[in-house]
Amino acid sequence: MAEIVFDVQQVTYRYTADVTALNGVSLTIPRGRRVAIMGANGSGKSTLLRILDGLYFPTTGRALAFGDELSEERFQDDPFAFAFRRRVALVFQNPDVQLFNPTVFDEVAFGPLQMRWPKDEIRRKVADMLDLMQITHLKDRSPHRLSGGEKKRVALASVLILDPEVLLMDEPTAALDPRSQSQVVDFLVGWGGGAKTVITTTHDLDIVEEIADDAFIFQGGLIVAEGAPAALLRDDDLLQRTNLIHSHRHAHTDGQLHAHPHRHVGHDQ
């Protein structure tokens, strides 16, 4: 039986007394699975990722990673926090949130420097990662002067260089042009050769079957459906109820108005 990487037990998270992002969510994610967390804007999926990354902590309930509870007190223990950050990496929807170094090379080298890797190893690993992400030609550029797709690849390189066991991706194709979207999807499909755990939030239904073995649909801070991506994506009633597709009315030649489901992709959150 596969090891459980994340065990979320009746987790509620409130931003304020009046704003509840998650409302009693429970789920388990085994090692090596690719998981899609689907939901419209405000459904709670991005908040869940931040809890899994130890950036937010449950208001009530418990979230465990590798059997250890994720809590503010636990992250005050430097050896635990250090080891966790090495094992679990989050790439934000907006890469500008995590890019802050003067050059692409410095950005990708930052994590290894914090880990106190030998300088020669850092230079070698950075060169390999830049090559893998096809951004070697950008190594002396400022990250903030790059295109959206280039920034996304730099953000990915900056976390993948530490070879994490778990990759958390928040809306990885949001605001990208089609070519950059395709590059990110190809990466998610191939990364780790199936040995890594990848959890992706998205409302881009076109990519879910490619990037995920399992899927959850969130609405209003609750899990309203879970299962194989193909089965969930065939349920138009479910997708309409959760605002992942919308019904548009069209006038036909007979004068009748008919409603048809439309799948909308690529919105920004």
Q: What is the CATH number of the domain that holds 146?
A: 3.40.50.300
Rounded average pLDDT over 13-20:
93
The answer to whether residue 9 sits within a structural domain is: yes
Is 139 inside any structural domain? yes
Q: Mean pLDDT across the stretch 118-134? A: 93
Number of domains in the chain: 1
Query: Looking at residue 133, what is its pLDDT?
Result: 86
Going from the C-alpha of 34 to that of each of 59, 192, 197, 208, the distances in angstroms are 27, 11, 6, 10
Could you tell me the pTM of the whole model? 0.87
In a domain, 269, yes or no: no
Q: Residues 97-109: pLDDT tens digits?
A: 889 999 999 999 9
Percent pLDDT > 90 in the chain is 64
59 is in which domain, residue-wise?
4-263
pLDDT band at 261 (very low <50, low <70, confident <90, very high): low
**201: in domain:** yes
Average pLDDT over residues 239-261: 65
> Residue 175: left if φ>0, alpha if ψ -120 to 50, beta else—which one?
left
* pLDDT tens per residue, range 38-89: 999 889 999 999 999 999 999 999 999 999 999 999 999 999 998 998 899 9
- Alpha carbon of 127 to those of 86, 146, 157: distances in Å? 20, 19, 11
* Residues whose CB is less than 8 angstroms from the CB of residue 21 and which lie 6 or more positions away in sequence, other chains included: 13, 14, 15, 44, 47, 221
The verdict on residue 268 lying in a domain is no
Give the range among 164-168, 215-219, 224-228, 253-257 with minimum mean pLDDT. 253-257
